[in-house]
Amino acid sequence: MADALKRKTQLFAILSVVSNVAGNSALTHGMMHLGRAGDTPIDLFFALFHPWVALGVLLLIVWTLSHMALLSWADLSYVMPVTAIGYVVTAFAGRFVLGEMVSPMRWGGILLITIGVVLVGRTAPASATLDGNSK
């Protein structure tokens, strides 16, 4: 039972991180492509029909739903740090997809975040009950 919960938590954490990073990237790419199109609310509305912006919004809806599902059984103090691995995914995407330089200090940051996520990830995902008492 505990293993099944852990597997479900891992699956939804991965879905949440991937959809968030991909959604933000698609949205940024789309908005940059549109240039100053986000200046007025009407421009913003029409920006939703740009393929990259639409894809970004769709992926951020997936992020919202997977994050909500995750919080229906896992602690906030577990979900919040574990999904911080998104900072690392973004840095790797910057390095290997966009060819950005990653300084030694940034690699140090990536290492610290990874160790932190592994430490939190090894704790039990759920500890609290609805009335606020610990199990």
Partner 1 sequence: MKWLLVGLCVVSTVVGDVFRSLGMRRHGEISDFRPGAIGRALRAIALNWMIFVSTCAMAVSFFSFMKLVSIAPMSFAVPTSAITFIPETLLARFLLGEEVSRQRWIGIGLILAGVVFISQ
Q: Two tokens at 115?
A: 């160790």
- Per CB under 8 A, the segment of 13-21, 45-53, 100-108 that binds partner 1 is 100-108
How long a stretch of residues is the chain?
A: 135
Residue tagged 């919960």 (tokens) = 5
Residue 52 Cβ vs partner 1, minimum distance, rounded to whole Å? 16
Residues in region 2-61 near partner 1 by CB under 8 A: none
User: Binding partner 1 by CB under 8 A: which of 72, 97, 99, 101?
Assistant: 72
Q: Which of 81, 89, 93, 95 binds partner 1 (CB under 8 A)?
A: 81
* Among positions 76, 92, 96, 100, the unique one binding partner 1 when judged by CB under 8 A: 76
Residue 98 in contact with partner 1, rule: CB under 8 A? no
Residues of this chain that interact with partner 1 (CB under 8 A) are: 64, 67-69, 71-73, 75-81, 84, 87-88, 91, 103, 105-106, 108-120, 122-123, 127-135
